Amino acid sequence: MISRRIAVFGMLVALALPTASRADAPLRVVATTGMIADVARRIGGDLVEVKGLMGPGVDPHSYRQTRTDIVAMTRADLVLWHGLYLEAQMESFFHDLGRKRNVVAVAEVLARDQLRSAESYADKFDPHVWMTPILWKDVVTEIQRAITQARPDSAKVFAANAQRLQADLDRLATYAESAMKRVPQGNRVLMTAHDAFGYYGDSFGIEVLSIQGISTASEAGLNRIGRLVDLLVERQITAVFVESSVSDRSIRALIEGAAAKGHILEIGGELFSDAMGEDGTYEGTYVGMMDHNITVIASALGAQVPARGMDNKLSVGF
C-alpha cells in the first residue's frame, strides 16, 4: 500500500510539474488553511494567485489531501502550510513534496519558547498560534519572506502590503486587550469544544477549558464530560461556546449534564477556531475572524463591547 501511494505521488508530480512562470504572471501560491491564504492575499495583492485548500468549517487536524490538491500543489510556485502538526494527516506528503518544490511550513519559524507544549503529543506544540495577533505577526513576516523569495522583483510591494497588515494586527491586539479587560473577574472562563484557545487565554488573562485536547482527533469520554459538568456547576459558569469547524455534540452533552443538576448553561456564541468564516465576508478574513471571536467572547462573558466589533464590520451585532 505504501509503495503504491509513493508511485501515485511520483506519477502526479511528473504529470503536474509546472513550466517556468513568466515574470509578469501572478505568483501561484497554494495555502492549506484559510488564515494562511488570507495573509498571502493581503501581502501579494494582484501579484499573487492564491488557492486555499481548507475552506470554512473544515477541520485541518483531520484533513487529507485530495487528488486535485496534489495537482494544484505540484503546479504551484509556492506552497505554504502551517506546520506544528496542525495538518497531521498531510505531514508526510509535505516533507516529500518539499524535496521537489518550494514548500514552507510558516509557523515552524516561531521559537519553541513562544509555544505551548502539547501534553497529549510528545515533542509537539499547540499549533493554534493565530489565536493571538502578536504571535501571528511573526508568521506574517515568514509568509512575506517566502513570497518575496519566490518573486524578489516585487519585494517593495510585498513589504508595503505586509506593513499595512501588521498595523491591522496591532489594532486587533489592542482591541482584544481592551475588550477582555472589561470581562468581570468571576466570568473569566472560556469553555470550548477543543483546546484551540490556549494562546488567547494566555495573552488576555482568560482561563480556558475544553472538552477535547489540542487535536480534534482526541476523544472526549463520559468521565471527562462529567468532571467538566461538575466544575461548571460548582463555579457557576453560565456560558459555553461552540466552534464552526467542530461538532457541537460534546458541548450539547455539557449543557444537558448541567441541566440534570439544575444548572442552566447557555451557548455564548459560535467561534472560529481552525477555520475562518464564509468566503467574501468580513469574517472570512483573519482580521474579521478574530474581531468576531474577541467580540463574541467578551460580550458573552459580560463585557461591554461594540456591537459590530472593532471596525463596525461584523455581520451580526452582539
Q: Rounded CA gap, 284 and 276, in Å? A: 5
52: left (phi over 0), alpha (psi -120 to 50) or beta: beta
Residue 124's pLDDT is 84
> How many Cα neighbours within 13 Å face the side chain of 118?
23
Q: How far is CA 291 from CA 133, 139, 308, in A?
A: 11, 19, 9
Rounded-to-10 torsion of CA 64, 66, 70, 75: -130
Identify the pLDDT of residue 165: 98
Question: In which element (H, E) is residue 251 found?
Answer: helix 249-260
Tens of pLDDT, residues 191-230: 998 789 999 999 999 999 988 765 555 555 567 788 889 9
Domain boundaries, the chain: 2-174, 183-300
Q: Each residue of 288-307: pLDDT tens digit?
A: 999 999 999 999 999 999 99
One of 3.10.20.310, 3.40.50.1980, 3.40.50.2300, 3.30.497.10 is the CATH number of 2-174, namely 3.40.50.1980
Which residues neighbour 107 within 8 Å (Cβ) at sequence distance 6 or greater? Answer: 82, 83, 84, 86, 127, 129, 139, 142
2-174 and 183-300: identical CATH topology: yes
Could you give the CA distance from residue 285 to residue 268 in angstroms, rounded to a whole number?
Answer: 22
| CA–CA dist 87, 305 (Å, integer) | 34
Q: Any long-range contacts for 88-95 (C-beta under 8 Å, 24+ apart)?
A: 88/61, 88/62, 88/215, 88/217, 89/61, 89/62, 89/63, 89/64, 90/32, 90/63, 90/64, 90/65, 93/9, 93/65
The DSSP 8-state label assigned to residue 151 in this structure reads S
Lowest mean pLDDT among 148-152, 199-203, 249-253: 249-253
* CATH classification (class only), 183-300: alpha beta
Mean pLDDT of the chain: 89
Q: Please give the Cα distance from 78 to 97 (Å, whole number).
A: 11
Question: Rounded to two decimals, what is the model's pTM?
Answer: 0.89
Sign of the CA dihedral with 119 first, then 122, 128, and 131 last: positive
pLDDT at 183 over 70: yes
- The grid cell for 242 is 461552540
Total residues belonging to the chain = 318
